Amino acid sequence: MIRYHMLVSGRVQGVGFRYTASHLDNLYNLTGWVRNCSDGDVEMEVQGDPGNIDFFIQKLQTESRWIRVASLKRKQMPLEPDETVFHVRY
């Protein structure tokens, strides 16, 4: 298990990015959260199997023709052992 804080920039707001992330997290058995930032980026924390997180990131970039990821920065964080779901923060 691993946890990342991620900051995603590009065409990621108003194109279903948060919905897609929430859907994919369930498919890959990940937990965490996602939210829009005021500067047009999207911020999220994702926790789970490292391979599943890599698949999740790949699918985020190819799942929708509207989403365009220009950059994705990730930083490893301490695990949240009691976290059980992935959710959208508003």
Q: Is 29 a catalytic site residue?
A: no
Please pick, among 36, 65, 68, 89, the residue that the annotation labels catalytic: 36
Each residue's pLDDT tens digit, 53-62: 999 999 998 8
User: What percent of the chain lies above the pLDDT cut of 70?
Assistant: 100
This prediction has a pTM of: 0.92
Please pick, among 18, 35, 74, 89, the residue that the annotation labels catalytic: 18
Per the CB < 8 A criterion, the answer to whether 64 and 10 are in contact is: no
Structural domains in the chain, CATH included, are 2-88 (3.30.70.100)
Closest CA to 68 of 11, 7, 4: 11
Q: Cα–Cα distances in Å, from 18 out to 37, 69, 76?
A: 12, 13, 21
Q: Is 36 a catalytic site residue?
A: yes
Residue 23 in tokens: 């859907």
